[in-house]
């Protein structure tokens, strides 16, 4: 499966960045316009978008860019979030494992729901996370 976005129906936001709720609405609109029945993935997509955007704000030094689109073959939803931190996402294994550090429970959800997840450093600083959720 290619993870390049389809130009038609692709949503890109790089100024006036969305809140998690706005990003969810953008993705739900994209899925509603996508061919086929995407109802099965809507809840998963909503959760993954919320986690990625919220984590960028909470742990990543702020959301820098957000993009959502279908993969070229139409079999996946591609979500791209960029933030200002090079710190890699982490998962807490046990509740209370690190009481001085908030979070760590959403990342395993993202990893479980997505068919693929990549994290890469950006040349000017920060990181890009790309998650692809299966539509078929």
Nearby residues of 96 by Cβ (< 8 Å), 6 or more positions away: none
pLDDT at position 5 is 42
Per the prediction, the chain carries an average pLDDT of: 84
State how far the Cα of 13 lies from the Cα of 66, in Å rounded to an integer: 5
Choice between 97 and 19, residue whose per-residue pLDDT is larger: 19
The answer to whether the beta carbons of residues 53 and 18 sit under 8 Å apart is yes
Domain boundaries 11-134, CATH class: alpha beta
Q: Can you read off the two tokens belonging to residue 43?
A: 């809840």
pLDDT tens digits for range 33-58? 998 999 999 999 999 999 999 999 98
**Do the Cβ atoms of 1 and 71 come closer than 8 Å?**
yes
């Amino acid at each position: 499966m290619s993870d390049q976005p389809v130009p038609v129906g692709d949503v890109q936001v790089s100024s006036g960045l969305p809140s998690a709720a706005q990003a969810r609405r953008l993705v739900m609109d994209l899925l509603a316009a996508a061919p086929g029945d995407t109802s099965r993935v809507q809840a998963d997509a909503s959760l993954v978008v919320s986690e990625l955007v919220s984590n960028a704000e909470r742990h990543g030094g702020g959301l820098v860019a957000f993009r959502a689109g279908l993969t070229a073959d139409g079999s996946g939803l591609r979500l791209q979030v960029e933030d200002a931190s090079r710190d890699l996402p982490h998962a807490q294994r046990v509740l209370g494992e690190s009481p001085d550090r908030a979070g760590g429970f959403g990342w395993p959800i993202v990893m479980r729901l997505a068919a693929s997840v990549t994290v890469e450093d950006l040349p000017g600083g920060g990181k890009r996370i790309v998650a692809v959720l299966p539509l078929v």
